[in-house]
Amino acid sequence: MRLYSLLLAALALCFVTNSRCHAQQYGSFGIVQTYNGTVAFAPQALNLAVNGQMLVMNKYSDVVDGTPYLFDEWQPGAIILYNNVVVENLRLKLNLLDNELYYKDSSGAELSAVTPVKYIVFKHVGNDTSAIFMAQQSVEFDRKGWFQVLATGKASLLKERTKKLIESKQYASATLDRSITTDVRYYVLRQGKLHLVKTVADVLAVLPEAAAGQKKNVKNEVDMKAVVDAFNRL
């Protein structure tokens, strides 16, 4: 039920962005699940929907620190494509370094999704505020990567994680040490425009209508989300 409710939230984003999510058919394959109910699909339907390609998973096996993935383990989830097809009951892994989404098909084969994906909904996300991820390209065409949607409505609070591969050579060593770092940024999306924010004061500069009773010098993610939620209730 948790995944279903999160999928509904992602579907709500489709309506906010003036699109409509629905089920489609691929040839004779009955495809995916919709917000109206569960529809079983043939194994070929998934690969037909996302144009999966075989994956080599040991590309970063020599990394000594950090990870290219949002989560190292495969996570249950769902995706929404740009043609508004919804596919549920997937095992997913998001590579934030290479901006690639991986999934397992019904045989357990590990594949990379070639067809662009607009939204990802993860079922297990630890202590994170939300489990909905939105392709940055859906906000600004020339952007790559993913936003985690922390709050949505008239305005959205988005969390960006950027991965970077760093190679260094220790003194008198012939081998390179490879590590991956993660940088986090927050944005408020209002009326189709992204605003970089670091504190509650930055959020209030974008959403001044929500200023009443807010602590402006706070940098906490939870407090920034509270401001956006308060604005969306106005």
> Average pLDDT of 192-206?
93
Categorize the per-residue pLDDT at 54 as very low, low, confident or very high, splitting at 50, 70 and 90: low
Task: Give the CA dihedral 137, 140, 142, 143, nearest 10 degrees.
Answer: -60
Q: Is the pLDDT of residue 125 over 90?
A: no
> Average pLDDT of 167-178?
78
Q: What token pair was written down for 54?
A: 């075989």
Q: Residue 90: which region, alpha, beta or left (left: phi > 0; alpha: psi -120 to 50)?
A: beta
Which of 110, 83, 215, 10 lies closest to 101, judged by CA? 110
Cα–Cα dist 144/45, whole Å: 27
Please report, for the chain, the start and end positions of each structural domain, with discontinuous segments joined by +.
Answer: 2-233
pLDDT tens digit sequence for 56-110: 667 888 888 999 999 999 988 888 888 777 887 788 999 999 999 998 877 788 8
Which long-range contacts (C-beta less than 8 Å, at least 24 apart) are formed by 18-24? 19/84, 20/84, 21/80, 21/84, 21/85, 21/86, 22/84, 22/85, 22/86, 23/85, 23/86, 24/83, 24/84, 24/85
Which of 195, 180, 177, 187 lies closest to 221, judged by CA? 187
Q: What token pair was written down for 164?
A: 């970077």
* pLDDT reported for residue 28: 28
* pLDDT reported for residue 81: 83
Say what the pTM is: 0.79
Categorize the per-residue pLDDT at 49 as very low, low, confident or very high, splitting at 50, 70 and 90: low
Residues 74, 111 contacting (CB under 8 angstroms): no
Which is more confidently placed, 130 or 170?
A: 170
pLDDT tens digit sequence for 11-43: 555 544 444 454 443 332 233 444 334 443 444
pLDDT more than 70, % of the chain: 70
* pLDDT reported for residue 215: 66
